Amino acid sequence: MQLVNQFSYVFLALFVLLVTALLALRWQPERGGIVAVLLVALVLAGIQLALRVQTRGVTTLSELRSHIGGGKPVLVEVYSNY
pLDDT tens, residue by residue, 30-66: 777 888 888 889 999 998 888 877 766 778 888 877 7
Between the alpha carbon of residue 75 and those of residues 30, 45, 58, 81, the distances in Å are 51, 28, 12, 19
Q: Do the domain assignments include residue 50? A: yes
- Chain Cα centroid distance, residue 6: 11
Please state whether the predicted TM-score (pTM) of the whole model is above 0.85: no
Q: Which of 7, 6, 14, 3 has its CA nearest to residue 45?
A: 14
Based on the structure, what is the number of domains in the chain?
1
- Residue 20's CB: how many other CB atoms inside 10 A? 19
Considering only residues 72 and 45, tell me which one the structure prediction assigns the higher pLDDT. Answer: 45
Give residue 42's pLDDT.
Answer: 93
Q: Do the domain assignments include residue 9? A: yes
Query: Domain range for residue 50?
Result: 2-55
Q: Do the domain assignments include residue 74? A: no
Q: How many angstroms separate the most distant Cα atoms in the chain?
A: 61
Q: Do the domain assignments include residue 16? A: yes
pLDDT greater than 80 at residue 7: no
Length of the chain: 82
Q: At what angle are helices 31-51 and 8-27 packed, to 10 degrees? A: 160
Of all residues in the chain, the percent with pLDDT exceeding 70 is 87
Give residue 3's pLDDT.
Answer: 60
Q: Do the domain assignments include residue 73? A: no
Q: Do the domain assignments include residue 17? A: yes
